[in-house]
A and B are shown apart, each in its own frame.
Chain A
Amino acid sequence: MSTRYNYDAIVIGAGHNGMVCAAYLARARRRVLVVDAADAVGGALRPIDFNGLSVPFAAQLDYGLDRSLVDDLELSRHGFSYAVEDIGSSVFNRDGSRIDYAMSNDDTRSLAGVSKDDARQWPEFRQRLIRFSGIISDIARRSPPRLGGDSANARTWLAIALKLRRLGRSEMREFLRIGAINIFDVLEEQFENPTFKAAIAAEAVLGHHLAPRSPNSVLTLLMRLAGSQGKIALPRGGMSALGAALQSACESRGVTFRMNALVRRVVIDNDMARGVELDDGTIITAPTVISSTDPRTTCLNLVGADHLDTGFVRRVRNIRSNGCTARIDFLLDNLSGFAAASALGLKRRLIYAPDMDTIERAFNDSKYGRISAEPLVELVLPTMLDASDRESRQHLATALVQYVPYQMIGDINMARDTLLENTRNIAELMLPGFKSHITASRVLLPTDIEHGLGNHGGHWHHAEIALDQFFMLRPVPALAQYQLPVAGIWLCGAGCHPGGGISGVPGRNAAVRILASVSLR
């Protein structure tokens, strides 16, 4: 039968989730085509040219690539390895003073310098977070069950309930309590140093349209820790190297890539997927079509409201998917003197967050369509972290800046300039002398990310992570099993459970579901 179709499955989008999904399908001997509008693979990892230096389009760091997936797909055989597996972090106050910390270990030497009490509290608190994130990690790796349905669903719920009970009674109660609470209250209960509290709060809200006082911000912190117990890593060769390794893993299993091919729509016949139609009119057929772009774009643009019922369409329209994080790249030249002076800072992840109220105020601005006057910034120098990248005299610094609303009021170019200026000043404060080395810069607003990746809203996670868009509710209940209401159409992107952050889990979970389904012979 399969000869009737060009492929067994077509994956729309060569982002990491699309490639992970394709690789798993190919590993199960399916003939898979990956199509992407860009000229190179990777999505957010895609290398682009920035004044002669190759930089990833949007991805910053590896916050929790699923390690079992690295093994399954034998990524190391395809050239993947880490330059740094556990990057230390430093948080900066307004006066330039800093505290070093890491979510992955109990080193409190720097913290003890500002607060003995906090240094005493931190290890226990951190270990508890890691323990709780273990529950979230277990949930994150599972394909969401439904609330009704068959006994397999019930078994999954039971397994999660047992895992929870195994925490012990008082820990389980604490987990249930803080799961819905905000990080502000939790940190106020535990710590006294405002900048240290802001650092942990920043870990919770980076990439999310949340502030420390927003409920759900403990959940997002646990999600961040769930991937790799708080380790933040950088692949050798930068983030784009992960994209290249995934491409190689796909191709070695026979996956075909077709680049520069924008998908106009999913071809549907008799309420069943038949393939995709490209922008140039070409039709490629397959009984299974998997979209790694966001759920809203998939449902409303690629599939079309005509094929979906109105209640469903309304829900999809209400998925919260507006990004609030901008990315700024700086090209730096001639760092030799500078590097010696601030060697330590250049190999760390630098967070600007004086106190939680500053983050909260930055968030307030964005609620009404303004960019934050004093933003939250995460700055790294990937070419400094990665020793394999030394031949170039040029260096790269990349910053994530919050909050930058998707729907902005006022002049967008002015906002761009202000954002750049604010970020440069903050970078200068963290790394004195930084400004004088800048030779070029690039600003990516959420709208630019939307433009470059095609995901509606330009959100990191394609859809906000919050309890009402989590697990069996993500992105909406009817899509939580990675499957659209139209037979043969699936989702495998960050908009699905468990979300973004370059984990690859949505792609893998989708592949597992697809392979278990009858719609793929």
Chain B
Amino acid sequence: MADRFDALVIGAGHNGLTAAAYLARAGVKTVVVERNPYIGGAAVSRELYPGFTYSNCSYVCSLMRPEIMRDLDLPRHGLQVIPFEGSVTMTEDGGYFASYLDHDQNRREMARYSARDAEAYDDYSAEVLRQCRFIKDTLLMTPPDPTSFRPRDLRGLVDLGRRFAAQGEDWMYDTIRFWTMSCGDFLDQYFESDIIKGHLAGSSIIGTALGPKSPGSAYVLLHHYMGEVDGNIGAWGYARGGMGAVSKSLAAAFQEAGGVIRTDAPVAQIIVENGKACGVALSNGDEIRANNVVSNMDVKRTFLNCMDASDLPDDFVRQVKNFKIRGSSGKLNIALDGLPEFPSIPADCPARYGDMHVSDSMDYLEIAYDDWKSGTWSKRPYVDMMIPSMTDPTMAPPGKHFMSVFVQYVPPKIHGRDWADADRDAFRDTVINRIAEYSPNFKDLILDVEVRTPRELEAEVGLTEGNIFQGELTLDQLLFNRPVPGYAQYRSPVKGLYMCGSSTHPGGGVMGAPGANAAREILRDLKR
């Protein structure tokens, strides 16, 4: 019983580590327990093929809040983010459309397809930027409860309302519409060209069980725009050494403040005594005691798998059961013997260093979604391909390359039954054949492929259904509704038990905001 901790964080994902680091720096004696032999959750770098580093879950960096980077001094702890230039979509007929960091360059590129769209791009980017700025301010905020009369909640609501109103009446209407409309309708307001809309709409479906024509998908678009690298809003970058570098730097910040990390320690049960959380039981029977327990797992795993329903209010359990966590994504990590050719993309196009796609219209994406709805993976999927080793040579041996392929849509079950290995192989072939249609030498270069369907994501990372956001980013599950109404302030119905994962506001992406927000609320309760 020597090691009684003030706080125990379940899961060494980036949010768990962020919360832990904030707690430790405030003098709270904190331990992080992680079931895998390695830390990082979905932000990991793993050598799964000799000489190659796979960012085998999350693969790009941008959303990590700069405030957190500063507070925890992450660059000093080894985090280096290298921005990349834009992205590119290849068309069915051998053409391409690229986007860049530079606004005017984007306009010129759009003008190749439509002069009108190039004109509209100014308005579009101004509007998106404005929405991003507004939402950015809410990311590191604890959502106020609209049903509560406590002064703190009322103040929070008034404050939110005032910030909202300060933008002017017209903008308020636009914003409400923006939060409720489909990505397709949003883009239709500005653009006419299929390829431009297809290119931009990709961001609205990543990780989401919605099509670009489903209402609510416009917000998801924004969720992927609000990142920044070195103050460049909307820019994306590679973490040098793979996404594990993010977790490593967070762990270093945590350990420097005196925190303890225990790996290979899967939690079986959260111990509740007299209505208060007081530690965890590991699956080997060991108990670790702590005055407060903070779960980085998603809400379903936390409350439905690791707790007795009798310790929780019935209503809460029902709400957690109804929380939507839909598996909709998959991933291929590929070791390549050389650089694959993409004849559609000019050799001097810098967008080759960024993300590459083949979805050249909104209908392409919507049809991919129809497959998911009918219970199978998209036969012509959305692929988000990148070759980080072109930018970061530490990812692969000289002359060889690591390619990360994110795939949407991939269902958690195939026509209602569990994934079988044969399904996984067929899924792999679908993706590889699709890419090979755009890259003649691609198949010949493949040394190794790691395939991750929702089944693997759930089994290895512990994400329910393999949902990368720990819960859908739909309006009914955002802000004060995330994860469930009444429990959006990182506290649970059980005293001393907190949530800090992406199931909480503001949701997923390697952002760290849920972890930082949770730590702030815990410290508030601890009066530190």
Contacts and interface: CB of A to CB of B under 8 A. Distances in A.
B310 to A, nearest CB: 20
Interface string B294-333: 0000000000000000000001000001101000000000
Given A181-B476, A216-B215, A318 B185 contact: yes
A148 B181 CA distance: 22
B465 interface: no
Interface string B178-191: 10110001001100
B203 interface: no
Contacts of A320: 185
Given A215-B214, A318-B185, A357-B374, A468 B475 contact: no
Interface string A458-470: 0000000011100
A173 B479 CA distance: 13
B475 A215 contact: yes
Contact of B176 (A185, A314, A364, A473): A473
Contacts of B176: 467-468, 473
B147 A215 contact: no
B462 interface: no
Interface in B420-476: 474-476
B215 A466 contact: yes
B481 A360 contact: no
Interface of A is mostly: helix
Nearest to A214: B214
A165 interface: yes
Nearest to A170: B315
Count class of interface residues, chain B: 35 or more
Contacts of A477: 170, 173-174, 177
Interface string A164-192: 01000110111011111100010001000
Contacts of A215: 210, 214-216, 474-475
B276 interface: no
B303 to A, nearest CB: 17
Nearest to B146: A176
Given A173-B486, A357-B374, A361-B374, A214 B173 contact: no
A314 B367 CA distance: 28
Contacts of A172: 147
Nearest to A175: B485
Contact of A180 (B178, B189, B216, B370): B216
Given A177-B476, A215-B214, A148 B180 contact: no
B107 interface: no
A368 B369 CA distance: 13
A185 B324 contact: yes
Contact of A213 (B177, B367, B373, B486): B373
Nearest to B213: A367
A147 interface: yes
Nearest to B366: A367
Given A180-B180, A215-B214, A148 B189 contact: no
A300 B209 CA distance: 37
A360 B373 contact: yes
A307 interface: no
A-B interface, 3 closest residue pairs, ranked by CB to CB distance from nearest: A173-B485, A477-B173, A467-B180
Given A367-B366, A472-B173, A477-B170, 9 more contacts: A148-B165, A170-B315, A173-B481, A181-B474, A215-B475, A357-B374, A467-B180, A468-B185, A473-B177
Interface of A: 146-149, 165, 169-170, 172-174, 176-181, 185, 189, 213-216, 314-315, 318, 320, 357, 360-361, 364, 367-368, 466-468, 472-473, 477
11 contacts: A146-B169, A148-B165, A172-B147, A180-B474, A181-B474, A185-B324, A189-B322, A318-B189, A367-B366, A467-B181, A477-B177
